[in-house]
Amino acid sequence: MDINFQTNDILLASYLLTQEINLVDVIEDRPHHFVFLLSNMDKCEELKRNFLNNAPAPARELFSKREMLISEIKSRNIDGERYGKNRY
């Protein structure tokens, strides 16, 4: 059974998605605060260490994944105006 990795850091989540980690879900754990659930907790922990040590990532893909996560947040938020591009 695969245990999910959780983070509220959109940049870390974006990086993990560039490393072939799958997005499981985006949940609002309290008003206007979202948590990203990603597959493969063990691999995510390893990749998180790499991220914190300034591992490279393809810029275009990284930005694309970040925009995808923002879209996921907006789709789960009734008041989508609060999560405009300047928010992140």
pLDDT confidence of residue 75? 86
pLDDT confidence of residue 31? 82
pLDDT confidence of residue 86? 44
pLDDT confidence of residue 88? 44
Pair of tokens at residue 83: 């999560």
- 88 residues of the chain, pLDDT tens digit each: 568 999 999 999 999 999 999 999 999 888 888 999 999 999 999 999 999 999 999 999 999 999 999 999 988 765 544 444 444 4
Q: Look up the pTM and report it.
A: 0.82
Phi-psi region of 40 (alpha: psi -120 to 50; beta: other; left: phi over 0): left
Angle ∠(35,39,42) on CA atoms, nearest 5: 105
Note the Cα 19 to chain centre separation in Å.
Answer: 12
pLDDT confidence of residue 10? 96
**What are the residue ranges spanned by the domains of the chain?**
5-87
Of 84, 80, 5, 75, nearest to 39 by C-alpha is 5
What is the DSSP pairing of strand 5-7 with strand 33-38?
antiparallel
